[in-house]
Amino acid sequence: MCGRFATTLPNEAMAQLFDASPANDLPEVPNFNTCPTTQIHVIEPGEDRRKLRTMRWGFIPHWYDKPSGGPLLINARAETIAEKPAFREACRQRRCLIPCSGFYEWSKDEAGNRLPWYITRKDGAEMVFAGIWQDWGPEEARLRTCAMVTVAANALMSRIHHRMPVILEPQHWGKWLGEEGHGAATLMQPAAEDVITFHRVRTEVNSNRASGPQLIEEIPPDAC
């Protein structure tokens, strides 16, 4: 599961990291509280070079009569992605990379209070999720939309939540994008135990209107 994340890498650095041609309408960075239905950075394959572009986070199946015409699909479960009518074609033909600096997840204390955590890569590198995308709407008002692929959490992540995004290592980016033939399905696995780390952050981020670098700063686990 991933319902909120932070993006801090500048657009130029992101394009360089993925050897991608950047679009002119990329979202502003940094954004410490990226929420569903907003425009996010996405890397997709191109004929000669990868493309860094923007997509709506929230996959819209072609049969929706409007963007809110059904459940908000921000995540796609790896276990059923190849079977679900909403995702199966995209899983085969329209895969993408979704970069971020880290993502948020919530646990609950004994009183039922939601406690936010910020999850990053232990090595400090950019985190890259496996994603799928779908065009929706008439050509003159077409939306390119996407969802993150999720799997059962590894042992470390399961301390907070039972699901986690598929985190791709650099050597696997090309395979997920379809640049290296078949085998993308084998990448839909939990991250190794030594890949991620996490810390408690302010409950301020419980609001999707919150913003600012303080959202990702570590606080003691027993702080409010």
Give residue-wise pLDDT tens across range 20-75: 999 999 999 999 999 999 999 999 999 899 999 999 999 999 999 999 999 999 99
Report the alpha-carbon distance of residue 133 to residue 174 in Å, rounded. Answer: 16
State the amino acid at position 16 in one-letter form: Q
What does the block give as tokens for 97? 């990379």
User: Does residue 44 have an active-site annotation?
Assistant: no
- Cα 1 from Cα 188, distance rounded (Å): 14
**What is the signed CA dihedral for 200, 206, 211, 212, rounded to 10 degrees?**
-10
Q: Which of 91, 105, 126, 146 is catalytic?
A: 105
- Distance separating alpha carbons of residues 90 and 144, to the nearest angstrom: 12
- Token pair for 20: 């991608």
Q: Token digits for 2?
A: 């991933």
Consecutive 10-residue runs of the chain (224 residues): their mean pLDDT?
Answer: 92 98 97 98 95 98 95 97 97 97 94 94 98 94 96 96 97 96 94 97 95 94 58
Tokens standing for residue 161? 């939540």
Gap between the Cα atoms of 33 and 65, Å rounded: 29
pLDDT the model gives residue 68: 94
The span from the CA of 117 to the CA of 66, in Å, is 33
105 is catalytic: yes
Q: Which of 2, 91, 96, 146 is catalytic?
A: 2
The answer to whether the peptide bond before residue 30 is cis (omega within 30 degrees of 0) is yes
Return the pLDDT at 1.
65
- Identify each DSSP E strand in the chain by its residue range: 5-7, 20-22, 31-34, 39-44, 50-57, 75-77, 95-100, 102-108, 114-121, 127-136, 143-152, 163-165, 196-200
Antiparallel, parallel or unpaired: β 102-108 and 127-136: unpaired
Q: Are 42 and 97 in contact (CB under 8 A)?
A: yes
